[in-house]
Chains A and B, each alone.
Chain A
């Protein structure tokens, strides 16, 4: 599914990733760990197709439409409601039965009651839950998650735990995290960046 050799990424003179090899089979569940500034986010952006490596070869065996990317930022419009944000992305991803899918995700992540409120009024945790809804909206084959537990309370984290349990094995998952132990039961591989 994902195969990268000798990956290097530079922004100008600054090298943020150097000599990274990564191999994730289809259905694999890989955690990416490392201290701040070690290049976790950069690696995930490379895998998601949002950046290209300066050196090295990277092959990601899915189409753009089949990638679900959760970033540090939620990638949703502040002035739109949760329902409007998901409807926009649902249209762009050509999701059939869009309303049912959106409703199911909003229910699952406990945002149904707040679906018609603007994101600018949401707490950080609610925004993160909406970002997870957006990431899962099109039922992606490859999930690229950057610190998915960030800002989630215990209830939100439990929902995410069960969501990832359901996806493990049937979907390929790459997760950058500072808490790899939480995902130890699901993990099939690990990548530690220095």
Chain B
């Protein structure tokens, strides 16, 4: 229970910091909206539905990257991460709190993006929606860890995409597959497996990322 209380306190702190600073969510909302508008005009008329799904995933992955790039900035300012690392709570709670907060921002961005996608392109099936949700969990889990690694360096903006994009490829494969394949269940299972494996790996390795 103490662990969950720590995670709750850390998540609430992240949401509060974002509500006050408004550094991340407005940028994610504007980015995903602008991207879908550009894709709407860029995609030739009569293009296949599969192409539209591909563009949706481009928008989702880069919107997530935008959120992840800002994820640890409040901790970097004023050196707060040192303070959190010194606290006697389990250090993985810091990662879990950040992952839940980042996931919340991504879901909020998608609450705007998905209706806009339906308006501009085509309806989303239940399997496609489930694929998006499962991929969100995966990209936020692994992305929070990679973002913590990148924030320690000087070239965070360059390093983060290099770390996250290769790891996001299976998520895009699974997400697009769930949307367009007749065997969407297999792709959803694949995404579920990815989430489980990478969430456990990130949870277990966070301590080594934030300590020497």
List A residues at the B interface (Cβ < 8 Å): 48-52, 63-65, 67, 69, 71-80, 84, 88-89, 91-94, 118-119, 134
Tell me the dominant secondary structure on chain B's binding face. Answer: helix
Quick check: is B79 within 8 A (CB to CB) of the other chain?
yes
- Tell me if B78 and A77 are in contact (CB < 8 A): yes
- Tell me if B79 and A77 are in contact (CB < 8 A): no
9 pairs across A/B with beta carbons < 8 Å?
Answer: A50-B82, A65-B87, A71-B79, A77-B17, A79-B16, A80-B20, A84-B13, A118-B20, A119-B78
Give the residues in chain B near A69, CB-CB below 8 Å: 82-83, 86
- Minimum CB–CB distance for B20 against chain A, Å: 4
- Tell me if A93 and B87 are in contact (CB < 8 A): yes
Quick check: is B6 within 8 A (CB to CB) of the other chain?
yes
Contact partner of A78 (CB less than 8 A), chosen from B6, B74, B86, is B74
- Tell me if B82 and A92 are in contact (CB < 8 A): no
Q: Which residue of A lies closest to B83 (CB)?
A: A75
Q: How far is the CA of A80 from the CA of B80 in the complex (A)?
A: 12
- Minimum CB–CB distance for B101 against chain A, Å: 13
State whether A75 and B79 are in contact (beta carbons under 8 Å apart), knowing that A52-B212, A93-B87, A93-B88 are contacts in the complex.
yes
List B residues at the A interface (Cβ < 8 Å): 2, 5-6, 9-10, 13, 16-17, 20-21, 74, 77-80, 82-89, 211-212
Q: Which residue of A lies closest to B14 (CB)?
A: A77
Give the residues in chain B near A119, CB-CB below 8 Å: 78
Q: How far is the CA of A52 from the CA of B74 in the complex (A)?
A: 25
Give the residues in chain B near A94, CB-CB below 8 Å: 2, 88
- Tell me if B86 and A64 are in contact (CB < 8 A): yes
- Tell me if B86 and A79 are in contact (CB < 8 A): no
- Tell me if A76 and B88 are in contact (CB < 8 A): no
- Minimum CB–CB distance for B2 against chain A, Å: 7
Contact partner of B17 (CB less than 8 A), chosen from A50, A51, A67, A80, is A80
- Tell me if B74 and A65 are in contact (CB < 8 A): no
- Tell me if B88 and A65 are in contact (CB < 8 A): yes
- Tell me if B17 and A76 are in contact (CB < 8 A): no
- Tell me if A79 and B21 are in contact (CB < 8 A): yes
- Minimum CB–CB distance for A116 against chain B, Å: 13
Q: How far is the CA of A71 from the CA of B87 in the complex (A)?
A: 14
Q: How far is the CA of A75 from the CA of B81 in the complex (A)?
A: 7
Contact partner of A73 (CB less than 8 A), chosen from B5, B17, B79, B87, is B79
Give the residues in chain A near B10, CB-CB below 8 Å: 88
State whether A134 and B74 are in contact (beta carbons under 8 Å apart), knowing that A80-B16, A91-B6, A92-B9 are contacts in the complex.
no
- Minimum CB–CB distance for B183 against chain A, Å: 46
Q: Which residue of B lies closest to A84 (CB)?
A: B16
- Tell me if A50 and B85 are in contact (CB < 8 A): yes
- Tell me if B78 and A74 are in contact (CB < 8 A): yes
- Minimum CB–CB distance for B165 against chain A, Å: 27
Contact partner of A91 (CB less than 8 A), chosen from B9, B16, B80, B83, is B9
Q: How far is the CA of A77 from the CA of B85 in the complex (A)?
A: 14
State whether A77 and B88 are in contact (beta carbons under 8 Å apart), knowing that A51-B212, A91-B6, A94-B2 are contacts in the complex.
no
Give the residues in chain A near B87, CB-CB below 8 Å: 64-65, 89, 92-93
Closest 6 CB pairs of A and B: A75-B83, A65-B88, A73-B79, A92-B87, A79-B20, A79-B17
Q: How far is the CA of A188 from the CA of B116 in the complex (A)?
A: 69
State whether A92 and B6 are in contact (beta carbons under 8 Å apart), knowing that A77-B13, A77-B17, A79-B21 are contacts in the complex.
yes
- Minimum CB–CB distance for A4 against chain B, Å: 16
> Which of B5, B13, B20, B83 has the largest number of chain A CB atoms within 10 A?
B83
- Tell me if B88 and A63 are in contact (CB < 8 A): yes
- Minimum CB–CB distance for B209 against chain A, Å: 14
